[in-house]
Structure 1
Amino acid sequence: MKLRIFHQTVYRYDRPARNLVQSLRLTPSVSEGQRTHDWQIDVQGGIRGPGFRDGAGDWIEGWTVRGPTEEVTVTVTGRIETRDTAGVLRGHRELINPLAYLRDTPATKPDQALRDLALTAKDAADPLGLAHRLSAVVSDAIAYMPGQTGFHTTAAEALEKGEGVCQDHAHALIALARLHDLPARYASGYLHTTADGDAHEAAHAWAEINVPGLGWVGFDPANRCCPDERYVRLGSGLDASDAAPIRGIAAGHGIETMDVAVSVEEVERFQTQSQSQTQS
């Protein structure tokens, strides 16, 4: 599938901010499942700093904005070709030992309810079957419902509510997998959705579980599937905060607000529609 991505994040400050420093994890992963044709990252008024590939295989680059400024806009545009690898992350070079992803964070720390939920999947025949079973129980336990949780909601809180978004599904699945001694991590990226009534946003997240013999395999409880050609992977981390596409700090004492716009279009379909409109 050939996809065109547009991702814009606008930060606004009620008082002028100075010396903003941002760390951007906004470049698609290098793997057999996706190939980038072109990709541009721009920070309005910003100065691009050095970039590097971290131990998890993610490309990270730094930007600075000297200011003073009341608004900073981060814009990402690009085209990428994806293919279905049945959720398996093949050809992705990284150095971190998967066992490092057995470590809990405040967002994924299990309470008794998560421990009890993890026990419902103990009858799985093998690690891959267990991972699928865990993803299914998360899908059943937490209904997809935007607006009921926030960025700082934990897996335990989302399970108690019984509602959440993709971030909550991913955190809960990570918690359950680690309870079964399966390394698990948070993956961020984009999802191409069709006009069939799906409520999911184009900016998306899912969990990856390290399965013996296969390596990292993606599971998306929010959509009850493994990532396929509709998914574009950016990066990963222990949880949503660790895998955030944009992280930064600014000098000043003002209040920051943020607006995000994301669109993911299938290129060939977009071109066909444009040609039809021209002919009419």
Structure 2
Amino acid sequence: MVSFVFDITHTTTYRYARPVKLGEHRVMFRPRDSHDLRVLATDLQVTPGAQDIRLIQDVYSNSVAIVQPVHEAQELTFVCTFTVEHTGSRALDLPIDAYARHHPFRYSREDRVALAHYLRPYYLKEQPRLRQWAQTFLNAEGPTDSREVLVRMNKAIRDSMTYQVRNEEGVQTPCETLDKASGTCRDFATLMIEAARALGYAARFVSGYVYGAELEQADSAGATHAWLQVYLPGAGWIPFDPTNNLIGGHDLIRVGVARHASLASPLSGTWTGAPADYLGMTVDVQVRKRA
């Protein structure tokens, strides 16, 4: 089995016009361990220093650092460094249980209990249109391979929509993304999640990092990224990246999962001051890959 080691440095800095009182911050940068992704080393540096750092697992079992900065400051910087070993995902080779090989299928009773919040649509009013759009990826005649539906949808989003950088928080609704035929990685992931749910699949949002070999000569060969996972019985959670038309592989390094993008924010927190005091935020991500 081929594996790669990635060195990741993620730096985020908040800037203010004058010293402000800094409240508690939640940091979700640490990659999510599993059989295919192992965290070998991790470090978190906060400037100014923190009087308390607590590590917890949230309701989705994501690793979260709760940080309380020690005093007022005009800048607040988080530097997170990780070394991970990634064996990749054989997403297209894993066998699917016989009863789920063709669409539609019904999850087992126990699976439906565990997957309930990933089956339930987040945008209820948009479901009729999303279902109509999602059904275009089914075979008009005869059975449809349950994984092939998702492969087609993943590729169609990549081929028919334009990626556009948007620094504002939040995501477009799925129908907004369909209407605009453009969006960010989190918009494309949200669209595919809701479309998959409209067809009866359990799907969840994933935040993390993506490595791009074509960027190796640049200052950074990686970036923060968002994609999704769909649960297929027998194969488990399969990663789909509609922004890049990736399915599994080595280049997606997951950090957090949730039923919606708003629940997997990499960094959030509070501060006390006038609205005009906030000058903005900068983010720098560097990912180095070594065999």
TM tier relative to shorter chain: 0.7 to 0.9
Which deviates the most, 238-247 or 184-193? Answer: 238-247
8 A Cα contact 2:240 2:247, kept in partner: yes
Equivalent pairs counted in the alignment come to 261
**1:78-97 aligned within 5 A:** 78-87=82-91, 97=114
Counterpart residue type for residue 29 of structure 1: R
Matched, 1:244 2:265: yes
Matched, 1:119 2:142: no
Counterpart residue type for residue 86 of structure 1: R
Q: d(CA) in 2 for partners of 1:258 and 1:154?
A: 25
Identify if the C-alpha distance between structure 1 residues 232 and 148 changes in structure 2 by more than 3 Å, giving closer, same or farther: closer
Counterpart residue type for residue 89 of structure 2: T
Q: Name the counterpart of 2:12.
A: 9
Matched, 1:234 2:255: yes
Q: Name the counterpart of 2:40.
A: 37
Q: Name the counterpart of 1:203.
A: 224
Deviations 1:48-80 (A, max 9, x none): 332222342211120012432221101111211
The SS at the match of 1:195 is: helix
The SS at the match of 2:201 is: coil
Structure 1: 4+ residue segments shifted above 4 A: 147-150
Query: Which of 115, 121, 132 is the equivalent residue of 1:104?
Result: 121
Identify if the C-alpha distance between structure 1 residues 13 and 30 changes in structure 2 by more than 3 Å, giving closer, same or farther: same
The SS at the match of 1:140 is: helix
Q: d(CA) in 1 for partners of 2:247 and 2:228?
A: 9
Identify if the C-alpha distance between structure 1 residues 212 and 188 changes in structure 2 by more than 3 Å, giving closer, same or farther: same
Q: Name the counterpart of 1:274.
A: none
Counterpart residue type for residue 268 of structure 2: R
Q: d(CA) in 2 for partners of 1:148 and 1:258?
A: 10
8 A Cα contact 1:186 1:206, kept in partner: yes
Q: Gaps spanning 5+ residues in structure 2: where?
A: 95-112
Identify if the C-alpha distance between structure 1 residues 144 and 173 changes in structure 2 by more than 3 Å, giving closer, same or farther: same
Counterpart residue type for residue 57 of structure 1: S
Counterpart residue type for residue 26 of structure 2: S
Counterpart residue type for residue 71 of structure 2: G
Deviations 1:119-168 (A, max 9, x none): 21232623322222322232233222335986443322222111122111
Counterpart residue type for residue 192 of structure 1: Y
Displacement of 1:113: 4.6
Q: Name the counterpart of 1:162.
A: 181
Matched, 1:74 2:78: yes
The SS at the match of 1:222 is: coil
Please tell me the root mean square deviation across aligned C-alpha atoms, in Å: 2.8
Q: Name the counterpart of 1:276.
A: none
Q: Gaps spanning 5+ residues in structure 1: where?
A: 91-95, 269-280
Q: d(CA) in 2 for partners of 1:53 and 1:231?
A: 21
Identify if the C-alpha distance between structure 1 residues 110 and 137 changes in structure 2 by more than 3 Å, giving closer, same or farther: farther
Matched, 1:58 2:62: yes
Identify if the C-alpha distance between structure 1 residues 148 and 48 changes in structure 2 by more than 3 Å, giving closer, same or farther: closer
Identify if the C-alpha distance between structure 1 residues 87 and 29 changes in structure 2 by more than 3 Å, giving closer, same or farther: farther
Identify if the C-alpha distance between structure 1 residues 103 and 15 changes in structure 2 by more than 3 Å, giving closer, same or farther: farther
